[in-house]
């Protein structure tokens, strides 16, 4: 049996050498190799990987024979997509129904079968009337409560509530007294006779802010009833309007004067059998106190009187 001749290969790069030529030595072959950058190969090089189990009698595997993974798409790995859903045969029903309702509404409005009514807006109070809060009312000492027609003495002040009446309210502009306006009918008026008991010091028993509406909470002056409180006439502390016939004089020692308190209008139907008119007064030059005047609806004349 003749021995099979193996092709000669370069010991450095593994390139097969032409048959019939002597094998060059390593140094001579290495010096005769062309520049790798200028070489063009039309075959796949064969590489003997370290640790390979191939024998010398078996041809080395080609890298070209190895399967290559498919390149991933530019937008990421492939993701399975759900199959398209079947088309809904009733998809036209909702738009058609909405269009029919719109046309029916236009027809009913055009023929007058339906009329649109504007939404009523809640009545807003005048700008100068602040909103009332829910703060509890401070307590009044029993010794500071007086009945209608009785006298109450507090330090340098004497208070005598003497008269009640229902009368209209007329407002006067303090900056322009010629400018006046109607404040409403049936306000409850209470007359107080105030006296300065001091022998040396002037006294202003009531300041306008004592009977006007604060920015929040209830004013110091209001009328407690069996139902909701009856408020004093709604004027803000900083209002330029004042009630015609209402004054707050400064009393000299031993001097007395009448002062009228006025409630909000339409008070006739809000009276109750027991009522308490709350009021803050100045008993000395640097001290104030809360007092209460007790009365009932029977103390109020039936007819409407005239304002002072």
Enter the DSSP assignment of 162.
Answer: E
Rounded Cα–Cα distance for residues 183 and 242 (Å): 10
The answer to the question of residue 284 being in a domain is yes
Tokens of 178: 């010629």
Q: How confident is the model at residue 227 (pLDDT cuts 50, 70, 90)?
A: confident
Q: How confident is the model at residue 169 (pLDDT cuts 50, 70, 90)?
A: very high
The answer to the question of residue 274 being in a domain is yes
CA distances from 33 to 19, 25, 26, 269 (A): 18, 12, 11, 124
Rounded Cα–Cα distance for residues 295 and 301 (Å): 12
Which residues constitute the domain of residue 170? 142-298
The answer to the question of residue 24 being in a domain is no
For residue 196, the cross-strand partners are 157
Please name the residues in contact with 117: beta carbons below 8 A apart, sequence gap of 6 or more: none
Q: How confident is the model at residue 244 (pLDDT cuts 50, 70, 90)?
A: very high
Average pLDDT over residues 211-236: 84
The answer to the question of residue 212 being in a domain is yes
The answer to the question of residue 149 being in a domain is yes
Interval 58-113: pLDDT, tens: 554 544 445 555 555 555 555 555 565 566 665 666 667 778 778 877 777 777 66
Average pLDDT over residues 226-237: 87
Mean pLDDT of the chain: 75
* Extended beta strands in 70-132, E state: none
- Tell the residue number behind the tokens 């040396």, with chain if given: 200
Q: Is the pLDDT of residue 32 over 90?
A: no
**CA-wise closest residue to 278 among 233, 230, 226:** 230
Rounded Cα–Cα distance for residues 76 and 99 (Å): 44
The answer to the question of residue 242 being in a domain is yes
Enter the DSSP assignment of 143.
Answer: G
With 0.85 as the threshold, say if the pTM is over it: no
CATH assignment of the domain containing 243: 2.60.40.1240
Average pLDDT over residues 227-231: 87
pLDDT of residue 236: 86
Q: Is the pLDDT of residue 3 over 60?
A: no
Enter the DSSP assignment of 28.
Answer: H
The answer to the question of residue 75 being in a domain is no
The answer to the question of residue 213 being in a domain is yes
How many separate domains does the chain show?
1
Q: Are 307 and 167 in contact (CB under 8 A)?
A: yes
Interval 108-124: pLDDT, tens: 777 766 565 555 444 44
Q: Is the pLDDT of residue 130 over 60?
A: no
pLDDT of residue 294: 94
């Amino acid at each position: 049996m003749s021995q099979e001749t193996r092709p000669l290969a370069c010991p450095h790069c593994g390139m097969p050498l032409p048959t019939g030529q002597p094998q060059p030595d390593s140094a001579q072959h290495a010096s005769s190799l062309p520049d790798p950058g200028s070489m063009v190969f039309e075959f796949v090089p064969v590489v003997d990987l370290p640790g390979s189990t191939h024998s010398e009698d078996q041809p080395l595997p080609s890298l070209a024979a190895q399967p290559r993974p498919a390149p991933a798409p530019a937008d990421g790995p492939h993701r399975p997509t759900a199959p398209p859903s079947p088309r809904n045969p009733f998809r036209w029903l909702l738009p058609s129904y909405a269009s029919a309702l719109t046309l029916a509404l236009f027809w009913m409005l055009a023929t007058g079968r339906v009329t649109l009514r504007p939404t009523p807006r809640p009545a807003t109070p005048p700008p100068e009337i602040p909103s009332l809060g829910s703060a509890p009312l401070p307590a009044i000492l029993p010794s500071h409560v007086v009945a209608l027609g009785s006298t109450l003495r507090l330090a340098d002040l004497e208070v005598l509530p003497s008269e009640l009446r229902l009368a209209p309210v007329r407002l006067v502009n303090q900056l322009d007294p010629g400018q006046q306006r109607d404040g409403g009918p049936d306000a409850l008026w209470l007359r107080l006779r105030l006296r300065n008991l001091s022998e040396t010091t002037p006294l202003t028993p009531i300041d306008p802010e004592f009977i006007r509406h604060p920015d929040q909470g209830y004013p110091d002056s209001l009328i407690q009833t069996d139902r909701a409180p009856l408020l004093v006439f709604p004027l803000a502390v900083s209002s330029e309007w004042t009630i015609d016939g209402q004054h707050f004089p400064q009393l000299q020692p031993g001097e007395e004067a009448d002062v009228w308190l006025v409630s909000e209008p339409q008070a006739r139907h809000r009276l109750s059998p027991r009522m308490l008119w709350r009021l803050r007064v100045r008993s000395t030059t640097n001290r104030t106190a809360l007092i209460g005047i007790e009365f009932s609806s029977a103390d109020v004349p039936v007819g409407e009187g005239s304002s002072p």
